[in-house]
Amino acid sequence: MNRAAFYAALRKRDSGLFGTSLSQSQVNGLERLLNVWATYYATDPIEFLSYDLATSYHETGAKMQPATENLNYWR
């Protein structure tokens, strides 16, 4: 994957995702996900990566960092 092109596409004004900039924390989270994908799932369909990234974006509120759920969440 061309990560420079990936990040450039995310930073485009019309991408509708992160605006025109990404925080270092967001980049770190994306890098973590992309590295896991490249190491363990590179032969899977790219649509699976799209799903993983979209789910992470949604579940973290675009922070792209792990979240600790309140224990009451599970009750």
In 1-75, where do the E strands start and end? none
Q: pTM higher than 0.85, yes or no?
A: yes
The contacts found for 52-59 with CB under 8 angstroms, 24 or more apart, are 56/29, 57/17
Chain-centroid distance of CA 38 in Å reads: 14
pLDDT band at 35 (very low <50, low <70, confident <90, very high): very high
- In whole angstroms, what is the distance from residue 1 CA to residue 17 CA? 20
Residue 70 has pLDDT above 90, yes or no: no
Yes or no: say if 9 and 16 are a contact pair by the CB < 8 Å rule.
no
pLDDT tens per residue across span 36-55: 999 999 999 999 999 999 99
- Domain extents for the chain? 3-65
Per-residue pLDDT of 10-31, as tens digits, reads 999 888 898 889 999 999 999 9
Assign 69 to helix, strand or coil.
coil
